[in-house]
Structure 1
Amino acid sequence: MLQTRLRRPRAALGTAALAAVAAGGLVAIAFAGCGIAGPGPISTVGEVDFETPLAIPPLAESTVDADGTRVFALDARAGTTQFAPGVVSDTWGFNGSLLGPTLAAERGERVRVDITNSLDEPTTVHWHGMHLPAEMDGGPHQMVAPDASWSPEWDIDQQAATLWYHPHPHGETEQHVANGLAGMFILHDEHERSLGLPSEYGVDDVPVIVQDSGFSAAGEREDPQRGYAGGLGDELIVNGTRAPYLEVSDELVRLRLLNASTARTFAFTWSDARPVELIASDGGLLEASVALDHVRLSPGERAEVLLRVAPGERVVLQSKTTPEVAGLVGPVADTNGGSDAFDVLEVRAAGTLDPAPAVPTRLNVIDDFDLEQVAMTRRFELGDSFEINGASMDLGRIDETVTVDTLERWIVENSTSLPHSFHVHDVQFRIASIDGAAPPPELAGWKDTIFTEPETEYELLMRFEDYADADTPYMYHCHLLWHEDQGMMGQFAVVEPGQHATMIEGTHHEH
């Protein structure tokens, strides 16, 4: 039986809430618990009975038009999922009742996604980490009304990477994601395929979408009570599966980790203290693999890690309390779950394994930016009251205007005593420095989202290569989704030299 030890009083568990059920094409189970009532660390390390096979989101079907465009279809819909036998929870999903299929495309392809909104309220679909025109980005300016459709179309013009998609309606993003709307978008290219890395989807190349949630005493999914960071659930669901295990028959396995939680930060590590072999961050492959004690991912961040197993062994992916919060006390340590520890996923190796070659010493070539080409330096202060540079989000206001085909330096300072994250739409950036020091190897690759530690300054370099559009902005924001909903977000437009940004009528919004 699964037991979750909470260092605070909680309701008793019912045995009926421990059974697995299939729903919406994904197996999802959870047990009777209670939402977070306030700051307090959670630990399930060493206490989970892994009893459910990890559900693998299906690869999205696609067709190819006569002009070569690859076409996908997504339907955002409401459904129900039984997280406990006989107990029905309302959930949302794409093409099903929970989560969505994995989209996969090749660099150089043109793609179109035909999106239908079958919900009874407006939503959007944002392509997190994707380089694409602003009018295709799926931010709050591209709302899809109930019973309406939207068909964004763009060229895949970036290296192989693990991206994802999720709603981005202004003021409602946390709720839409928490309800279950999320999925992966995997990009491939010739270089990545030439490396001989694990590549058979769902077999040795496995998506791992990690989320937390709250549940009632009866086993029904409910929104957890909200703390400073937003809703922190005391249950983990991986690919829609609770207490999951993954059986593998290959010596080398590639796990694509996605923190799809709305507020919780994880520090992924292995139960036997073996190094975590990181090969890619948000925007693609690192120059070489990096052996780490843990990989920290705040909401929206991704990482690709390799796991080499021996026949018959078992090892557990965990999220542990990290040194970054070990010295913090009270609410500061607990604001985004940094002091919590969880068992996440058990990997079970078969008795006989297909052998795998050694990982190449060099995975990628990442050229440094020429700092002499920096055309503009901008500062972004993540402050109190959910503001950036002292201002709250206004859909009718352009906060920054960027000239196309220029290199910019963005200085992002978390001036508070509490953690935030920072996500930039459209581009992948490089971290030039953290409080004046070079970033560690795991943060030296391409990123689109960063965890910003309290009272710390980050120097980011990014190039806005193309897609000028004076009428439609991109976003930058804290990716703690409740913070985003409260207004911790701004807008920037990419324009031609000498051009001024305009705004779309009727989008003014005040908090």
Structure 2
Amino acid sequence: MNRRRLLFLSALSGLAAAGTSCSSGWQAPRRPEFTNRLRIPPPAESRRAAGGFREFALDLRAGGRTGFLPGLTTATWGINGSYLGPTVRVARGERVRMAVTNRLDEATTLHWHGVRLPATMDGGPHQMIAPGATWRPEWTIEQPAATTWFHPHPHEKTAMHVYRGLAGLLLIDDPDGPRLPSRYGVDDVPLIVQDKRFDDDGALDEGDVDSGTFGALGDQILINGTHDPYFEVRTELVRFRLLNASNARVYRIGFTDGRPCQVVATDGGLLERPVAVDRVKLSPGERAEIVVRFTAGEQAMLDSRGENIKQANDIEEEDFQLLRLVAAAELTGSAPVPAALGGAPAVPPPAGARIRRFELSGSEINGQDMEMTRIDEVVPAGANEIWEIDNTTYAHNFHIHEVSFRILDINGAAPPAYQQGPKDTVFIPKKAKARLSVRFGTYTDPVTPYMYHCHILRHEDKGMMGQFVVVKPGTEHQVPRTLAHRHD
């Protein structure tokens, strides 16, 4: 440990009054110390396989022990490790194959959230992986650069599998993309944000994961599985890839000193041009890429601020400190963010576009809980439709598999500029209405559905999910609306 770092850590670890333990669970010190170096998920290893594929091996494991809290270890699940997974990085145009081995003692899946691919490769609840089995989905990366991710998607059990630690990032690069910070772990930094609650012995408190209105709402924050983290900044500009991988909590992420950041990408990829903001709002499953400028020798705090609950939503909101940034005495220069990022402009829905309406209630969509054998919607390949989402109750969000959409409006108002890029997940406050311009892909399969659902995982597990198939145009009325109950 060099002298500068030793002095820094000594300054941060002064005697803060320690919180006392109580029956409600472990409590952190009153003033977080932020002396734990931010863990950067390791890049996933790959090999060249027959047929020109690049193959990644992902093992889903139970029985891990992870040190989150001082002096304690926590039983966790992980992918190729004790908690979370490696970062899979692929390029546009590549042919990829995943060897996903389930080493749990129960069946699960692995869904590629935000990835555009055939329905049989999607990893939804129809692609269950039995204990001890290996699933080998393969596809060609045919979408722009984006920050996507993977997590389990078993029907009625997603919340627990994600809460215990099964998730990871899948980054898509485009060799022809703009010049942005891209040195992984140096100036291109993933931030997987999750909230947890711990018992006195350090165990994950799972009591609320499958209960209550929203499920798990933790009082401790992990970033990449690190509690009270800090990151050493070594460049003038840093690109942070933000992922809300929490079960239910909504964050408004920015800096305590109010410094601006530039949003360069949303869920589905790059914006047309950078958008300067002081905060980015992310509900579960949403992503954003921001670029932030630092000055040599300074310190800054990334945090989350709650909103007025009555006006925004009725999920419990709190203020959280997330990550301390410590800039080196000398910083490497960074090229400025390009004025044009190359993101595709929004295309208005065509005149006469099909409108589909979805009403969200407590745990139902259009008055129905999820049914594995029922096809709710049949969509012609390549369609550009308008989906109207009417939330009649408390806060929800809405995720559609495989597609890219644009938010047209929420309660009649256009979304903030930074949310006008390509999306796959949208937050819908209580009793609000959203309109989406949804562009579907060209993969067709009349018997294997994709999902749409609330990504507050408790709601998804309770049944707030539906199924759609994408078919050859003109064959919509030939598709049966009932499937055999399959776990492919």
Secondary structure of 2:324's counterpart equals strand
Secondary structure of 2:166's counterpart equals coil
Q: For residues 395 and 492 of structure 1, what CA distance do their matches in structure 2 show?
A: 11
Q: For residues 34 and 413 of structure 1, what CA distance do their matches in structure 2 show?
A: 37
The structure-2 alpha-carbon separation of the partners of 1:76 and 1:49, relative to structure 1 and needing over 3 Å to count, comes to same
What amino acid is the match of 1:390?
A: G
The correspondence for 1:414, drawn from 391, 396, 407, is 391
Secondary structure of 1:221's counterpart equals coil
Correspondence 1:352 to 2:330: yes
Instruction: Tell me the residue number matched to 1:12.
Output: 20
What amino acid is the match of 2:254?
A: T
The answer (yes or no) to whether the contact 2:244–2:286 under 8 Å persists in 1 is yes
Correspondence 1:393 to 2:393: no
The correspondence for 1:273, drawn from 250, 255, 258, is 258
Moved more, 304-313 or 84-93: 84-93
RMSD: 2.3
What amino acid is the match of 1:71?
A: E
The structure-2 alpha-carbon separation of the partners of 1:60 and 1:376, relative to structure 1 and needing over 3 Å to count, comes to same
The answer (yes or no) to whether the contact 2:403–2:424 under 8 Å persists in 1 is yes
The 5 Å alignment of 1:372-387 reads: 372=350, 375-384=353-362, 386-387=363-364
Shift of 1:180: 0.1
The correspondence for 1:308, drawn from 287, 293, 310, is 293
Q: For residues 299 and 320 of structure 1, what CA distance do their matches in structure 2 show?
A: 16
The structure-2 alpha-carbon separation of the partners of 1:99 and 1:2, relative to structure 1 and needing over 3 Å to count, comes to farther
Q: For residues 374 and 103 of structure 1, what CA distance do their matches in structure 2 show?
A: 40
Moved more, 429-438 or 452-461: 429-438
The answer (yes or no) to whether the contact 2:450–2:467 under 8 Å persists in 1 is yes
Secondary structure of 2:76's counterpart equals strand
What amino acid is the match of 2:381?
A: V
The answer (yes or no) to whether the contact 1:127–1:163 under 8 Å persists in 2 is yes
The structure-2 alpha-carbon separation of the partners of 1:3 and 1:286, relative to structure 1 and needing over 3 Å to count, comes to farther
Shift of 1:289: 1.3
Shift of 1:63: 1.2
The structure-2 alpha-carbon separation of the partners of 1:473 and 1:2, relative to structure 1 and needing over 3 Å to count, comes to farther
The structure-2 alpha-carbon separation of the partners of 1:71 and 1:507, relative to structure 1 and needing over 3 Å to count, comes to closer
The answer (yes or no) to whether the contact 1:374–1:407 under 8 Å persists in 2 is no
The TM-score, its normalising length taken from structure 2, stands at 0.91
The structure-2 alpha-carbon separation of the partners of 1:426 and 1:35, relative to structure 1 and needing over 3 Å to count, comes to farther
Shift of 1:365: 3.9
Secondary structure of 1:230's counterpart equals coil
Q: For residues 504 and 81 of structure 1, what CA distance do their matches in structure 2 show?
A: 41
Correspondence 1:54 to 2:54: no
The 5 Å alignment of 1:123-162 reads: 123-162=108-147
Q: For residues 433 and 92 of structure 2, what CA distance do their matches in structure 1 show?
A: 34
The structure-2 alpha-carbon separation of the partners of 1:3 and 1:162, relative to structure 1 and needing over 3 Å to count, comes to farther
Correspondence 1:505 to 2:484: yes
Secondary structure of 2:98's counterpart equals strand
Instruction: Tell me the residue number matched to 1:259.
Output: 244
The correspondence for 2:54, drawn from 70, 88, 96, is 70
Secondary structure of 1:59's counterpart equals coil
The correspondence for 1:81, drawn from 66, 89, 93, is 66
The structure-2 alpha-carbon separation of the partners of 1:306 and 1:142, relative to structure 1 and needing over 3 Å to count, comes to same
Secondary structure of 2:460's counterpart equals helix
Q: For residues 35 and 327 of structure 1, what CA distance do their matches in structure 2 show?
A: 32
What amino acid is the match of 1:355?
A: G
Instruction: Tell me the residue number matched to 1:18.
Output: none
The correspondence for 1:402, drawn from 379, 399, 407, is 379
Shift of 1:2: 9.4
The structure-2 alpha-carbon separation of the partners of 1:395 and 1:319, relative to structure 1 and needing over 3 Å to count, comes to same
The answer (yes or no) to whether the contact 1:429–1:446 under 8 Å persists in 2 is yes
Q: For residues 262 and 60 of structure 1, what CA distance do their matches in structure 2 show?
A: 24
The correspondence for 2:437, drawn from 446, 453, 461, is 461
How many residue pairs get matched? 469
The answer (yes or no) to whether the contact 1:11–1:217 under 8 Å persists in 2 is no
The correspondence for 1:292, drawn from 277, 299, 304, is 277
What amino acid is the match of 2:128?
A: M
The structure-2 alpha-carbon separation of the partners of 1:248 and 1:419, relative to structure 1 and needing over 3 Å to count, comes to same
Instruction: Tell me the residue number matched to 1:21.
Output: none
Shift of 1:370: 4.2
Shift of 1:493: 0.6
Same amino acid, percent of matched pairs: 48
The answer (yes or no) to whether the contact 2:145–2:269 under 8 Å persists in 1 is yes
Instruction: Tell me the residue number matched to 2:5.
Output: none
Q: For residues 273 and 105 of structure 1, what CA distance do their matches in structure 2 show?
A: 34
Shift of 1:259: 0.5
Shift of 1:275: 1.7
The answer (yes or no) to whether the contact 1:213–1:224 under 8 Å persists in 2 is no
Correspondence 1:205 to 2:188: yes
The structure-2 alpha-carbon separation of the partners of 1:124 and 1:289, relative to structure 1 and needing over 3 Å to count, comes to same
Shift of 1:265: 0.7
The answer (yes or no) to whether the contact 2:260–2:292 under 8 Å persists in 1 is no
The structure-2 alpha-carbon separation of the partners of 1:4 and 1:383, relative to structure 1 and needing over 3 Å to count, comes to farther
The answer (yes or no) to whether the contact 1:374–1:409 under 8 Å persists in 2 is no
Q: For residues 438 and 4 of structure 1, what CA distance do their matches in structure 2 show?
A: 45
Shift of 1:3: 10
The correspondence for 1:450, drawn from 426, 429, 432, is 426
Q: For residues 350 and 87 of structure 1, what CA distance do their matches in structure 2 show?
A: 31
The answer (yes or no) to whether the contact 1:259–1:300 under 8 Å persists in 2 is yes
What amino acid is the match of 1:133?
A: P
Unaligned runs of 5+ in 2: 1-12
Secondary structure of 2:458's counterpart equals helix
The answer (yes or no) to whether the contact 1:2–1:47 under 8 Å persists in 2 is no
Secondary structure of 2:347's counterpart equals coil
Q: For residues 395 and 259 of structure 1, what CA distance do their matches in structure 2 show?
A: 27
Instruction: Tell me the residue number matched to 2:25.
Output: 34
Shift of 1:427: 0.7
Shift of 1:372: 2.6
